[in-house]
Amino acid sequence: MPAAKYKRVLLKLSGESFSPSGERGISMEEVVHISKQIFEAQQLGCEIAVVIGGGNILRGSQFKAKNDIVEEATAHYMGMLATVINGLALQDALESVGCKTRLMSAIKMDGVCEPYIRRRADRHLQKGRIVILAAGTGGPFVTTDTAAALRSMELGANILMKATRVDGIYSEDPEKNPHAVMYSDLSFQTAVEKNLRVMDSTAISHCMEHNMPIMVFNFRKDGNIIKAVTGEKVGTLVTNG
């Protein structure tokens, strides 16, 4: 088996990875499938922290049309709690395939998981545990993309990997335009200038400023996580050039 190219990886999983394409909720079959890939990648000598979204359960944007009832900040907190639900599912799935894990939340809930403390998370990674990071940053108006960018820098990751449902970053939305062109390599500057949907603008700015490379790839293709951590060409790599 090849060795991991990256010592420490921050893997960003969207809530969509927890359910079949086009559906919502949690499918443990899907969660176990991706857990097996994460476990195999870790066995190559890679320390892995996972930031998870909650869009399969709830998106704050669904309340915008009725924001006189649910305030936007409240909707964001609801979305953060959804990521904790996903985190619990992922934790059990990872442990079912042989991983040692820790679930850490930016919102304190001691009866369910550990509070996120940077030094403690770092120590868990050093001990070979997969660290699942839930509840974003703990504050509203911050996306899980930005949370992933911040955690990748806090924890000294070598790369931020974003697992999506498409093969990489395209010139246009490939689900709307079948003729869209995929980039294999991309600079942050180009991504900003062309307004390509890599991650949200705040996350991109943080990664560009701190020289944190981003790899965007399709999580639904078997073996892609292993290919990514071993440095094999997969998806799109975004760097400062």
Only one residue has tokens 């904790």, namely 84
What is the pLDDT at residue 198?
77
Candidates 101, 155, 157; CA nearest to 132 is: 101
Query: pTM score, two decimals?
Result: 0.93
Candidates 19, 141, 36, 55; CA nearest to 99 is: 36
Taking the mean position of all CA atoms in its chain, how far away is CA 217?
11
Strand partners, 11: 50, 161
What is the pLDDT at residue 113?
97
Please, where are the H alpha helices in 48-126?
A: 72-96, 118-126
218 in Cβ contact with 164 (< 8 Å): yes
* Residue 166 CB coordination number (10 Å): 18
What residue spans define the domains of the chain?
A: 8-239
pLDDT along the chain (241 residues), means of 10: 90 92 90 95 96 89 68 90 97 97 97 97 98 96 95 98 91 86 93 86 93 94 92 92 73
pLDDT tens string 21-43: 878 899 999 999 999 999 999 99
Statement: 8-239 belongs to CATH 3.30.9.10 = no
Half-sphere exposure of 207 (CA within 13 A, CB side): 35
Half-sphere exposure of 234 (CA within 13 A, CB side): 22
